[in-house]
Amino acid sequence: MIDVKVDAAQPVVIFLHGCGGIDEHERRWSEYLKSQGFIVVLPDSQAIPGRSKNCDATTHTTNMGKIPVRELRPAEAKYAMARVREQTWADQDNIFLMGHSEGGMGAYLTPELGFKGVIVSGFICSISGGLRAQSATPVLANNWELDPWFVRPEAPYLQCADRGFWPRRSNARQLV
């Protein structure tokens, strides 16, 4: 963990990157969140010894099953949250979890750890059992109607609420 010098505790976003690792997309999100007053913690899943990429960005395909990402990515969120909780620069009442693509799946599958809110980006809420955050935790899903990873002519886009993954959850919203 990098020592951060701040005058007062700041809100934090723990950001889980997509299956290709930290790239320009994550850097742009991080810069934007920083400009809004957040400290961004961006764990590098690819730094884990023996870890390989779980996707091919040119063909929009994944190697699901090759890497146990359903367990790995929530474990990364849990580890990052524990480290952030140790920091004096972190506003302990304002720690958020955000994940994009594979990281979005990680955010979706992360059990309740005390996050102020969860942002799931570029993931279609399609894992059975539904969202793991407690019903009191606000959730925002940010998706693209023509997402090449998920949308095919034979499988039109459905919103998370339409799929039954957020039943009666008044504090969950989706932007498409």
Tell me the per-residue pLDDT of 73-127, one tens digit each, with 9 for 90 and over. 899 999 999 999 999 999 999 999 999 888 888 888 888 899 999 988 877 666 6
Shortest CA distance to 79 belongs to which of 48, 58, 33? 48
pTM listed for this prediction:
0.81
- Report long-range pairs for 141-146 (Cβ below 8 Å, ≥24 apart): 141/172, 141/173, 141/174, 141/175, 142/174, 142/175, 143/174, 143/175, 143/176, 144/176, 145/176
Residue 174 pLDDT grade (very low, low, confident, very high; cuts 50, 70, 90): confident
pLDDT at 128 over 90: no
The letter for the amino acid at 112 is: E
Out of 13-17, 27-31, 63-67, 78-82, least confident range: 63-67
Assigned token pair, 170: 């008044």
SS3 label, residue 29: helix
Domain ranges of the chain: 17-47+57-175
The domain over range 17-47+57-175 is classified in CATH as 2.60.40: no
- Tally helices (H) and strands (E) across the chain: 3, 8
Of 2-6, 39-43, 138-142, where does the model show the most confidence?
A: 39-43
The letter for the amino acid at 68 is: P
